[in-house]
Structure 1
Amino acid sequence: MNEKAVLNGKKPENLEEQAISLVGTDIYRKLIKDYTEKQWGRPCTELPAFIIKRLPVRLTYDNNYFNDKYQGIPIGGYTQIIEKMLDHENIEVHLSTDFFENKESLEEEADKVIYTGMIDQYFNYEFGRLEYRSLRFEHEILDIQNYQGNAVVNYTDAQNKFTRIIEHKHFEFGEQEKTIITKEYPSDWKPGDEPYYPVNDKTNNDLFKRYYKKSKEKKKVIFGGRLGMYKYYDMHMVIHEALTCVQKELSK
């Protein structure tokens, strides 16, 4: 069925309608619907349209994720970049340290604090808890050289409860005799879990606005990242936001 007929000319108001307007009903049902509902734990009709708008639609055989000229990950991963930055600047690092147990002293001693944790937790859930999605990982070591031929394969069906399988050696073209795969299972977040994704529906976004307004009262604290700004950032967006933040601070 023609997507325009399905929507009857209306402006898309949720993810399902936005996806149908972009790719039609067949591709939506085969590739988007089940995968998205596994990822977010709710029907596509209850998710905001912007989530699907971040991915470009191309009528070509270009298999890149985005339309950016350069795409990939750093050689050696992101960890080695951070390690070199910290080592170059001789920055003191404290591991296994609970920020909230040391919050007052850390903020008192620092000229600026960059906080990238959950913004609602920072304010002790004063206005209520924001919702997040978490992930559970299952790792397997297989006695074969190659499992799937790619670093990441997405599973768009409803039968498999994981959303993707990661085969780590393909990120840097390893030639090890064995291979390690990781199955990624989305899950509801609860205290004690790692929060990965903000749930940007209207209820949560309205609640975030209250926390965001309160965050502006904290002159020494910069809130950033997916959790601090309660926003779905891809990695290139995170880097852009970080550099923009630095420029603003240096221009003061």
Structure 2
Amino acid sequence: MKEYDYLIVGAGLFGAVFAHEARCAGKRCLVIDKRGQRGGNLYCEDVEGIHVHKYGAHIFHTDNKEVWDYVNSFVKFNRYTNSPLARFGDKLYNLPFNMNTFYQLWGVKTPAEAKEKIEEQRREFAHITEPANLEEQALKLCGKDIYRCLIKGYTEKQWGRAATELPAFIIRRIPFRFVYDNNYFNDAYQGIPKGGYNVLIDALLEGIDVRPGTNYFEHREELNALADKVLFTGCIDEYFDFCCGRLEYRSLRFDHQLLDTEDFQGNAVVNYTEREVPYTRIIEHKHFEYGTQPVTVITYEYPDDFQPGKEPYYPVNDKRNTEIYQKYKELAQQLPNVLFGGRLAQYAYADMDDTVNAALTLWRKQTRN
């Protein structure tokens, strides 16, 4: 009999939810992570009482009441509402695109005026019947002003290439809201855990053996020997030693700064949409939890090319990478005692509520087998 029922590679949200459910069912779990802390990209560092999102801003939002009730059973969430701003030149614009944005762009005050202005802008590009790239797609959908001020530079920084070199499908539609409402998400439930995400992760992993600072690939054989099954939440191409090729990602780089001022920008998230500004946004972390500290922490977020050793954040879901991933998926299906879950193992961008739901679904599938 082996020491554990499950070896869970990755102490992020997916692994933590699965481990919690397994433990509640009487299963013995060992959770490992190559980083020196739990939580994966949700990890928060306490700086002067401010919970700093070390790996980018995470705002929990969902329409799934079961998931919302589930996470709130571990930690209560506050009422934070994501209302980012966009800065282009010296002007600020509200996001998502709503009546406030249209007033700031054109001075229009009613939905009818805004719709007329957008149609006027779109007519200029009515000759584009089959957009050949992202730029043509965006111009056809929204016209030149919104594209130039709020989409073009930000998108080019995100992907590290010109909009004319990006496929049109990246922007399938552009949602317009003809109301004065800056709430970025339409979901019924939204907030940040009171006390930060570490409280949620620690509650999920309570009573479970966790070994941070453990690299699975450096101790693969001995770790596999400890458990009957493995749940792998890392990069699926790395698990198979890149035998079908390397999957592409975009990465991020963060510059965290503690400032001796009470408030730097008055909002948690401000996007910088000019191509010439090297970072995509500035995060001010205290605003996620209505902090009243006399100091503040801000983070400059820079898009980055992905290379081995850097953190993979966004999959490049083009035709080539999709075909490579399908090959790995077929290999994974041939391993009955290895489960693959999470955004890296499934090569897909996933919101946190989808991650929680997917982990619960995988566990329920285990209980049926």
Q: TM-score, normalised by structure 1?
A: 0.89
* TM-superposition CA deviations, 1:176-206 (whole Å, max 9, x none): 1111111011110111111111111222112
Query: What is the distance in 1 between the residues matched to 2:215 and 2:326?
Result: 26
- Contact 2:248 2:306 (8 Å CA) reproduced: yes
1:121 CA displacement: 0.8
Matched, 1:213 2:213: no
The match for 2:194 among 75, 78, 95 is 75
Greater mean deviation of Cα atoms: 236-245 or 200-209: 236-245
1:10 CA displacement: 3.5
1:89-168 aligned within 5 A: 90-168=207-285
1:148 CA displacement: 0.6
- Contact 1:161 1:185 (8 Å CA) reproduced: yes
1:41 CA displacement: 0.9
Query: What is the distance in 1 between the residues matched to 2:224 and 2:123?
Result: 54
Percent of residue pairs bearing the same amino acid type:
55
Indicate the residue corresponding to 2:143 in structure 1.
24
Aligned residues: 250
Indicate the residue corresponding to 1:66 in structure 2.
185
Query: What is the distance in 2 between the residues matched to 1:21 and 1:236?
Result: 32
1:12 CA displacement: 5.3
| Equivalent position SS for 1:112 | strand
Amino acid of the residue matched to residue 151 of structure 2? Answer: I
Query: What is the distance in 2 between the residues matched to 1:48 and 1:249?
Result: 39
Instruction: For structure 1, list consecutive stretches of 5 or more residues without a partner in the other structure.
Output: none
1:81 CA displacement: 0.8
Amino acid of the residue matched to residue 148 of structure 1? Answer: Q
Structure 1 residues 19 and 250, CA, compared in 2 at 3 Å: closer, same or farther?
A: farther
Q: TM-score, normalised by structure 2?
A: 0.62
* TM-superposition CA deviations, 1:51-97 (whole Å, max 9, x none): 4458743222221222111122222222211101111xx11001110
Structure 1 residues 236 and 61, CA, compared in 2 at 3 Å: closer, same or farther?
A: farther
Amino acid of the residue matched to residue 255 of structure 2? Answer: E
Query: What is the distance in 2 between the residues matched to 1:53 and 1:91?
Result: 43
* TM-superposition CA deviations, 1:84-113 (whole Å, max 9, x none): 1111xx110011101112222333332332
Structure 1 residues 94 and 113, CA, compared in 2 at 3 Å: closer, same or farther?
A: same
Indicate the residue corresponding to 2:293 in structure 1.
176
Indicate the residue corresponding to 1:37 in structure 2.
156
The structure that is strand-richer by fraction is: 2
The match for 1:188 among 302, 305, 309 is 305
Q: For the aligned residues, what is the CA RMSD?
A: 2.2
Amino acid of the residue matched to residue 247 of structure 1? Answer: R
Indicate the residue corresponding to 1:248 in structure 2.
365
Instruction: For structure 2, list consecutive stretches of 5 or more residues without a partner in the other structure.
Output: 1-119
Amino acid of the residue matched to residue 29 of structure 1? Answer: R
Amino acid of the residue matched to residue 201 of structure 2? Answer: I
| Equivalent position SS for 2:302 | strand
| Equivalent position SS for 1:226 | coil
- Contact 2:285 2:298 (8 Å CA) reproduced: yes
Moved over 4 A (4+): 11-14, 48-51, 53-56
Query: What is the distance in 2 between the residues matched to 1:79 and 1:55?
Result: 34
Query: What is the distance in 2 between the residues matched to 1:12 and 1:116?
Result: 37
| Structure with the larger RCO, 1 or 2 (CA within 8 Å, 6+ apart) | 2
Query: What is the distance in 1 between the residues matched to 2:235 and 2:252?
Result: 16
| Equivalent position SS for 2:205 | helix
Structure 1 residues 114 and 44, CA, compared in 2 at 3 Å: closer, same or farther?
A: farther
Indicate the residue corresponding to 2:356 in structure 1.
239
1:11 CA displacement: 5.4
Structure 1 residues 55 and 238, CA, compared in 2 at 3 Å: closer, same or farther?
A: farther
1:247 CA displacement: 2.4
| Equivalent position SS for 1:209 | helix
Query: What is the distance in 1 between the residues matched to 2:347 and 2:126?
Result: 30
